[in-house]
Amino acid sequence: MGNPGNDRQYDFWHKDPNNWKGGVFYFNKKDPRVSVPKRNPMLGWTLNFGNPLSWLILASIAVLIALSLRYL
């Protein structure tokens, strides 16, 4: 990434089990990132549900799916 100080803070937040709801969902309002690596980085990325933009992305995907199912 860019700033080593930010990288250390992001790593600290990522490793904090309090930021993982149910061990699966990342929720940290202090973390400005919309997507973060999953706890096991080999499994890809997940949304930061503490960031309002992630909810907008999720809602947009749901609307697109609903519209595509309606017009099939």
**Tens digit of pLDDT at every position of the chain (72 positions):** 567 779 999 999 999 999 999 999 999 999 999 999 999 989 999 999 999 999 999 999 999 999 999 987
What is the per-residue pLDDT for 2?
63
Domain borders along the chain are 4-70
Cα separation values, 13 from 39, 56, 57, 72, Å: 11, 22, 22, 43
> Could you tell me the pTM of the whole model?
0.83
Burial of 46 (0-12, 13-18, 19+ CB in 10 A): middle
